Structure 1
Amino acid sequence: MKKIYLAIILLATGMIYAQENENKDQKWSGSRPDGHAPISVMGDHTHGKGEWMVSYRYMYMNMEDLKLGSDDVPFSAALAEYMVTPTSMPMNMHMLGVMYAPSNRVTLMVMGNYISQEMDHVTRMGGTFTTSSSGIGDTKVSAFYKFFNRNRQQLHAEGGLSIPTGSIDEEDVIPASAPNSVILPYPMQIGSGTWDFSLALTYLAQTDLFSFGSQLRTLLRTGTNDNEYRLGNRYESNNWVAVKATNWLSFSARVQGLITGEINGLNPALNPAMVITADTDNSGGTFVNSGIGFNTYVPKGALKNLRFGFEFAFPLYQDLNGFQLKRKETLTFGLQYAFK
């Protein structure tokens, strides 16, 4: 029996050594369907010298019903403390991005977005109303540095800046203000109003049949905006695996851990006792989200390097600070096209 175990160990060691020798000159490749992360993950890849990529993403996120901490609660629980509570909030985001690699080590990116969202409410007296906002969001610019790409593994870092091009002065008419409009609470604003910094580190690995990725990302808010508040910092971990079904199709699964901080400061135009979204104690939380999706890739022909991705994401766990709308499903579609 010992000889059998020894033979198995020697055989496994030989296979690993042979694979390492075989792969030592092979690089992690983006030219396959699982060569990019699930479409919802940003900054997952870099490009070769002189290569461009343009991308479009559409994201739909739905929030509905209330949570207090990690518990589901009825609207009446919030209405015992506030005059108004939201009941649902669908959000649509359109994202346009451009990437360019001036060298094999460095890739640059700029991304803009357009947001439209609505929020349905119910009052303590049983009335209902809806507010909405839309506009161009904050603009993000980033630089990526590739540390290495060998043995079918890659490690790269990202440093970015979020430019406050999104509005923080969105207004709408509510029953108490009609016919005049009033400023909307924090979640209904389009931008942050501050210059924010992002840092990320991404590790990628591949075999012939599947790929794996892990990314750590943080968004650090700075200063205070013109309305005397600052959104909370974000700390995020994304991990995914994708199986290459064919040379043009792959399927993926993803798990994300996310921590968002509370809003700091207070917009003096908002009454925290009126609606839960105007009270900064009801902001931030801890989330564990999951996603399943697919990527398609055109390997040759006139549309070579064109990609289409889809992901359906849903929460596994959420522990929210105070009363907040519960996150439900998120759908993300995207097109990416690389060229020289």
Structure 2
Amino acid sequence: MNRLGKHFICLSPLALAISSTPALSHDSALPAYLPESHAPAGVMADHLHQQGEWMLGYRYLRETFSGLYSGSHKTTAAAAGHAGYSMVPTTMTMEMHMLDIMYAVSDSLTLMFMPQTMSMEMGMAMTGVSHDHHMGGMGEMSGMNGDGMGHDMDMHGSHSHGTSGTGDTVVAGLFRIVDNRGYKLHGTLGISAPTGDVDLKNADGTFVHYGMQLGTGTWDLMPSLTYTSGHNRLSWGAQANARLPMQEENDSGFSFGERYGATAWGAYRVADWMSISTRLGYTKQHDINGHYNGPHNHASPSDLQGNYGGEFVDAALGVNLVPQAGPFAGVRLGLEWTNSVSAHYNGYQLGRDDGLNMSLSYAFD
């Protein structure tokens, strides 16, 4: 299973835009609110605000996974069975809901606060290959009704289980580096606080899969550098970012690997109230360090640290909408569909299908 969406971390998962208007614009009659002045919906920490301005926003992410992969190739449950696993994941859906609250202390410094909730649902199936030394993993089959877990099982040895609750909380500062007529450049320094659970267990007392925990359990450093520019109806930009655990292990004995990402996009204003965008993103994530410090299963790939992380390239198509008049003037809605272009998975993991990013925000002073 893959956790990139969760971190995104997206912060998944999770680009760029212009602070308030494109860096270069020569339209004779600009709309009151430029739809292309914000990044695609899948990008966070993309713009600053003017001194004293607030922004209240809501973000939603949904990602789906299916099919079993090893490295860059699709594989089978039987192959995983012969590799020593008695069960494999078959599908997964991950959803994130996040508040996006920003306040500009000055024209050069904007503060950001982002609490979130997470939910994940995974389907599992038997590989058909018996392994006596993995019988401890049958704890997965015994029901998951405590600690926010749900469980359904059929007579063919397949079942589904899920987790949900509060995720990690991000606090960040966005600071301006360059702001001229040609381009804009700003940095972001964020900290992710470990407010999400990392000790969720199955009904038999064993830890759930690493990737089904709701947070990282560590204090993480989240820096990024964002470049944006534009001309007339066009805007474009690029961002480099990272998520770096600042602790060797969390209270459950492990830490998720470092994640590095880069993304670039372009947008075009097709109407005063709408822009369309394309985006390409690259992510590299290391596998898990450490090990659960309590009872846990080794029955499926999702139970082992080496089956997390990899290198991924995604493409996205998006639209930004902002009414120019009426009661909803200035309310921004961004929608973005993402899909995997290429992927190289560490070990055995579910394949990344597509995803949906949504952002809704309103700025005021």
TM-score range, shorter chain: 0.7 to 0.9
SS state of the match for residue 78, structure 1? helix
**Offset at residue 214 of structure 1 (A):** 0.3
- The match for 2:143 is none
Q: Distance in 1 between matches of 2:102 and 2:94?
A: 26
Q: 2:160 aligns with which of 104, 108, 130?
A: 130
In the alignment, the residues of structure 1 paired with residue 57 and residue 78 of structure 2 have an alpha-carbon distance, to the nearest angstrom, of: 44
Structure of higher RCO (CA pairs closer than 8 Å, 6+ residues apart): 2
Hey, what's the Cα distance between the residues in 2 that align with 1:312 and 1:23?
Answer: 27
1:164 maps to 194
Q: Deviation digits for residues 183-208 of structure 1, max 9, x if unmatched?
A: 20111000000000011000000111
In 2, Cα distance between equivalents of 1:321 and 1:30: 48
Cα distance in 2 for partners of 1:72, 1:124 equals: 15
2:36 to 24, 34, 43: 34
Q: CA deviation at 1:302?
A: 3.5
For 2:99 and 2:79, the matched residues in 1 are separated by 40
What residue ranges of structure 2 are gaps of 5+ in the alignment? 1-23, 129-155
- Aligned residues between the structures: 309
Residues 84 and 275, structure 1, Cα contact 8 Å, conserved in 2: yes
- Contact 2:32/2:324 (CA < 8 Å) preserved in 1? no
Matched residue type, 1:93: M
**Which whole-Å CA distance do the structure 1 matches of 2:25 and 2:157 have between them?**
66
> Retained in 1: the 8 A contact 2:302–2:349?
yes
Residue 171 of structure 1: SS of its match in structure 2?
coil
CA shift for structure 1 position 96:
0.7
1:63 matched residue in structure 2? 65
Other structure's SS at 2:40 match: coil
Where does residue 43 of structure 1 map in the other structure?
Answer: 45
Aligned to 1:206, which of 210, 215, 230?
230
Q: Which secondary structure does the structure 1 equivalent of 2:36 belong to? A: helix
The residue that corresponds to 2:184 in the other structure is 154
One-letter amino acid matched to 1:77: A
Sequence identity (%): 34
Q: Which deviates the most, 146-155 or 201-210? A: 146-155
**Higher fraction of strand:** 1
- Aligned equivalents of 1:324, 1:204: Cα separation in 2: 35
* Letter in structure 2 aligned against 1:112: P
Contact 1:222 1:230 in 2 (8 A): no
Aligned equivalent of 1:111, options 103, 111, 114 = 114
The equivalences for 1:278-293 within 5 A come to 278-293=303-318
Instruction: Please state how far the C-alpha of 1:182 moved relative to its aligned partner.
Output: 3.1
TM-superposed deviation, 1:152: 4.7
Q: Which amino acid aligns with 2:126?
A: T
Instruction: Map Cα deviations across residues 262-295 of structure 1 (whole Å, 9 max, x no partner).
Output: 1000113355631111111111100000100100
| Residue of structure 2 equivalent to 1:3 | none
Deviation at 1:334? 1.9
State how far apart, in whole Å, the 2-side matches of 1:299 and 1:146 are. Answer: 28
- 2:332 is aligned to 307
Name the CA distance, whole Å, in 1 between partners of 2:167 and 2:32: 29
Deviation at 1:76, TM superposition (A): 1.3
Is residue 297 from structure 1 mapped to residue 322 from structure 2 by the alignment?
yes
CA deviation digits over 1:311-340, x for unaligned, max 9?
000000000110011010001122111111
- CA drift of 1:153 comes to 1.8
Distance in 2 of aligned mates of 1:85 and 1:124: 6
Match of 1:172, SS state, is coil
Deviation at 1:300, TM superposition (A): 3.8
Letter of the aligned partner of 1:91 in structure 2?
A: M
Change (3 A) 1:161 1:210: same
CA RMSD, 1 decimal: 1.8
Once the two structures are TM-superposed, the CA of residue 118 in structure 1 deviates from its matched residue by 0.7
Q: Secondary structure at the match of 2:59?
A: strand
- Give the structure 2 partner of residue 142 of structure 1: 172
| Alpha carbons of structure 1 residues 100 and 156: separation in structure 2 relative to 1, 3 Å | same
- Report how far residue 298 of structure 1 moved: 2.3
SS in 1 for 2:105: coil
User: 1:269 and 1:79 mapped to 2: Cα distance?
Assistant: 25
TM-score (norm 1): 0.87
8 Å CA contact 2:205, 2:295 repeated in 1? no
Amino acid at match of 1:197: L
Moved more, 264-273 or 211-220: 264-273
Shift in Å, 1:305 = 1.9
Q: How far apart are 1:246 and its partner, in Å?
A: 1.1
Asked which structure has the greater CA Rg, the reply is: 1
Amino acid at match of 2:273: W
Pair 1:236-2:261 in alignment:
yes
Deviation of 1:181 (Å): 5.0
Corresponding letter in the other structure for 2:164: S
C-alpha separation in 1, matches of 2:199 and 2:43: 29
Mapped contact 1:23–1:152 kept (Cα < 8 A): no
Q: Which runs of 5+ in 1 are unaligned?
A: 1-21, 174-179
Shift of residue 304, structure 1, vs aligned partner: 2.7
Which amino acid in the other structure matches residue 50 of structure 2? Answer: G
